[in-house]
Amino acid sequence: MILNARLQTEQSTADSLPVLLIHGLFGSLDNLGVLARGLKDDRPLIQVDVRNHGLSPRSEEMNYAVMAQDMFDTLDAHDIDRVSVIGHSMGGKIAMALSALAPERIEQLVMIDIAPVDYQTRRHDDVFAAIRAVNKAGVTRRSETARIMRNVINEEGVIQFILKSFHDGKWRFNVPVLWDNYATITGWQEIPAWPHSVLFIRGGDSAYLDNQYRDTLLKQFPAAQAHVINGAGHWVHAEKPDAVLRSIRRFFAL
C-alpha cells in the first residue's frame, strides 16, 4: 500500500540519507512536524500517514507486518532505497518491524517512548468512548467536539491531539478498524535481533519504556542506547522538542 506522504528535500542535503518519520495511534504525518522542522536542514525527510490514518488508504488489516510493508512500498514509490527511521509509539513499533522485514534498508532507528513488548493493557478506552460520544452527537465544529470529549477525557493535551484529526465533522482515522485491531496495535511479536544503531527516547514520566522491559528490549536490539528526558510524558517530542532534537542529532552524528 502506498501511503500519503510529504517529502522535504533541501538542496544542500540531497545526497544525505533520508529520514522517515512515523506517527503514533490516532495521529497523522503532522504529529512529528516539530521534529521535521528541526531536522529539515540536516537531512531529506519523508513523513507519512500510517494506513487507516490521515489521508492514507483504509484497510481492514492492521498489523505491524503490513504496516512495515506499507513503509517500504511508499519509499519505493519515491525511489528511496535506504533510510534512518524515527517513530513515536505505534510508529516506533512500525520502525522496529522494518528492521525485521528488510534490515539492509535501515541505517539507524530512533524509537520515541515505546518498547518492543506486548503491553497487554488498554490505555485508550477513554479516547474511544469520547470519539463514540462525538459521533453520537453528530457535531461538526471542533469547539462542540472538545466540549463533548471533556466529559470523558481529563487531559486537555490528549483532547487537542485527537482533535487534530477531526475535519468537517469527520475523523481522519478509521475508528472501527482501530478498535477491532487494538490488541494487535498494543501487542507485539518478538523479532530477530537487530545488532545495529538504535536509540530509545523515554519521557521520564511515562510508563511505556519502563525498566521492566529492559531485558526484552536488549534481546531484540542488543546495541540499543537509551535517553531519558525528565519532566515529559508519552508525547515527549511535543513537550520537550528541543531536548528530543538534541538527542536525535547526537545519535545521528555517531
Give the list of residues 6+ apart from residue 238 with CB closer than 8 angstroms, or none. 31, 34, 157, 161
Distance (Å, whole) CA 83 – CA 108: 8
Catalytic residues: 89, 234
pLDDT of residue 12: 47
Residue 71: pLDDT band with limits 50, 70, 90:
very high
pLDDT tens for 87-109 read 999 999 999 999 999 999 999 99
Put simply, whether the predicted model's pTM sits higher than 0.85 gets the answer yes
Section 107-128 average pLDDT: 96
Distance (Å, whole) CA 251 – CA 254: 6
Section 116-143 average pLDDT: 95
Q: Which residues of 184-202 are buried (b: 16+ CB within 10 A; e: fewer)?
A: ebbebeebeebeebbbbbb
* Total Cβ atoms within 10 A of residue 23: 25
Residue 37 has pLDDT above 80, yes or no: yes
Residue range 5-120+187-252, CATH number: 3.40.50.1820
pLDDT of residue 216: 97
Residue 5 has pLDDT above 90, yes or no: yes
Q: Which three cell numbers stand for residue 73?
A: 512500498
pLDDT of residue 16: 85
Mean of pLDDT over the chain: 95
Residue 14: pLDDT band with limits 50, 70, 90:
low
CATH 3.40.50.1820 residue ranges in the chain? 5-120+187-252
Section 76-85 average pLDDT: 97
Q: What is the DSSP letter of 23?
A: -
